[in-house]
């Protein structure tokens, strides 16, 4: 068990950063390449919001997902990247995965997405607390 702990402390942060960054990088890239479709989805979800504001929100989302994802992936200013992603995920989770107000057939997928986002927020808090760990561009310690 001692060897497993040592291995996990050495390589766990790197593997964890790769896994956490992946979802944001893929999501940001998909939003960038499918901009019009994402605007349509956001407009349907937030029908009372001005379309110009929705486009600006999407641009900000792409910047946060790609920028924060890269910062975490590389371990460069990972705490700042994780902080930006955490703060961004709070309203996004509440707005786009509000499962409690949906019909039963839509409730389960949004409940799963809500819980996934909660787990990712926990991962962001872990990066904020403990930094990027070994094998990063900038080892951060408190």
Instruction: Please return the burial class of 56, using the count of CB atoms within 10 Å of its CB with bins 0-12, 13-18 and 19+.
Output: exposed
Q: What is the pTM of this model?
A: 0.91
Q: Are 140 and 79 in contact (CB under 8 A)?
A: yes
pLDDT in tens, 72-126: 999 999 999 999 999 999 999 999 999 998 999 999 999 999 999 999 999 999 9
pLDDT, position 140: 64
- Give residue 42's pLDDT: 93
d(CA 109, CA 111): 5
- Residue 142: pLDDT band (50, 70, 90) is low
Looking at every residue in the chain, the average pLDDT score rounds to 94
pLDDT at position 8 = 93
Domain ranges of the chain: 2-130
Stretch 14-27: mean pLDDT: 97
């Amino acid at each position: 068990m001692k060897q497993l702990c040592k291995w996990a402390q050495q390589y766990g942060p790197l593997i964890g950063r790769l896994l956490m960054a992946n979802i944001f990088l893929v999501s940001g890239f998909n939003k960038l390449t499918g901009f019009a479709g994402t605007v349509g989805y956001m407009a349907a979800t937030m029908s009372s919001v001005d379309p110009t504001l929705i486009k600006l929100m999407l641009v900000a989302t792409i910047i946060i997902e790609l920028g924060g994802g890269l910062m975490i992936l590389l371990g460069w200013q990972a705490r700042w990247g994780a902080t930006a992603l955490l703060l961004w995920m709070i309203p996004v989770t509440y707005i786009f995965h509000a499962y409690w107000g949906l019909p039963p057939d839509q409730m389960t997928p949004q409940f799963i997405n809500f819980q996934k986002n909660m787990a990712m927020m926990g991962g962001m808090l872990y990066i904020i607390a403990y930094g990027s760990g070994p094998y990063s561009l900038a080892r951060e310690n408190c």
